[in-house]
Amino acid sequence: MAIKIIAARLEGGKFHESVTKLRWVNPGSGETGESFVSAIVAWIEDDDGKAYVDEGIHRVGVEVVKPTFGPKFLRTRADGIWKNNLVELPRF
């Protein structure tokens, strides 16, 4: 299953590490939801989940970032280049 991330909640900053919750839709089933980043990280790592955002006509994959210090967070990467798609999403 792949989910499309459509909105983000940031707390305490303007960067990827500040994204705390994401709103998503499963285009296949129409199911929608809101999940904490930690839950999506676990889903991607443990259940082989896939997430993406739309960038024009392209899909940009969401990947788990494992910093040396601090909790894991999510960020988009297209063609090997890190992007700012999550922090540019509408807020909720």
Taking only the tens place, the pLDDT of each residue in 2-60 is 999 999 999 988 888 899 999 999 999 999 999 999 999 999 999 999 999 999 999 99
Please give the pLDDT value at position 17: 86
Residue 33 lies in a domain: yes
Give the whole-angstrom CA distance, residue 29 versus residue 12.
Answer: 33
Residue 19 lies in a domain: yes
Residue 81 lies in a domain: yes
Q: Which domain holds residue 19?
A: 2-87
Residue 92 lies in a domain: no
Phi/psi at 76 (5° precision) = -95, 150
- Whether the CB-CB separation of 64 and 16 falls below 8 Å is answered with no
Distances (CA, A) of 89 to 7, 66, 70: 5, 22, 23
Q: How many domains does the chain have?
A: 1
Residue 76 lies in a domain: yes
Residue 1 has pLDDT above 90, yes or no: no
